[in-house]
Every structure is written in structure tokens, then in C-alpha cells.
Amino acid sequence: MSAMSVSWQFWAFLSAMFAALTALFAKVGIENVDSDLATFIRTLIIAAVLAGILAVMGKFQSPSSISARTYIFLILSGLATGASWLCYFRALKIGDAARVAPVDKLSVVIVAVFGVLFLGEKLSAVNWLGVVLCTVGIILVAVR
């Protein structure tokens, strides 16, 4: 593997690209269906694809080898993801994708603040400037 394909920046950029496609495809896909049902269908597809990837790559492991703490935080993460997706699809159903997706990315700002407050992460002055600029940019995109 090249250095680029194992860097967090590479995977984060791909995540952003796929998130953008998610917004565009979802906006069209939920046109004539309830947003909650659309979220359910999407979730089934995600589960099936991931199960296939895990099976092909031999990455399944014994459930008993996973710690209770890990399960607790994965369950909480799953619940938060589900709530996020339900809210996101509802917002897309009634709003413009070009406004909904950037507001959804306020998660970037919230993660930065929570990372500092709860995970003990450190941000430099330049990092904080980026957080502020992200916030301002999101507000400017969301305003009519």
C-alpha cells in the first residue's frame, strides 16, 4: 500500500467525498418515500455491504473477544448514528441539500470542542481559528 492510502487524510477525504454523494443521492432518493423508511433501507444496504466486506476479508471475530466497554461505546455510537441519520434524512426531505449538508457538518465544530473538553485533546490557536472559520462558513451557507 502506498503511504497515501494508509494516511488518515486519505480516508478522511474519501469519507467527505462519499458523504457528499450521500447527500446528493439521498435528496433524490427520498423524493417519493418517507424519510424514516429511506433511512431504514439505506441502513440495510450498509449492513449487507459491511457483512460482505468482513466475510471476504476474514475480519469477523468472536463476540466474546470484545470487551464490555467496547460494546457499550459501540452501542452508544450506533444509537447516535441512527439518530443523526434520521434527523439528516428528515432535514434533506424538507430542505436544500446545499444547505442541509453544511449544517450537518457542524459536527466538525462540535467534535473539536468535545474532543478538547472530554478527551483531553489539544488544539492550537490555528486549529481554533479553523473551528471558528468552519462555524462562520456553515452559517453563511445556511443563510438564505
pTM of the model: 0.82
pLDDT at 4 over 70: no
Task: Enter the C-alpha cell of residue 79.
Answer: 444509537
Q: How many CA atoms lie within 13 A of 43 on its CB side?
A: 15
The 10s digit of each residue's pLDDT in 81-122 is 999 999 999 999 999 999 999 999 999 999 999 999 999 999
The 10s digit of each residue's pLDDT in 37-92 is 999 999 999 999 999 999 999 999 999 999 999 999 999 999 999 999 999 999 99
Task: Enter the C-alpha cell of residue 119.
Answer: 478527551
Q: What is the pLDDT of residue 46?
A: 96
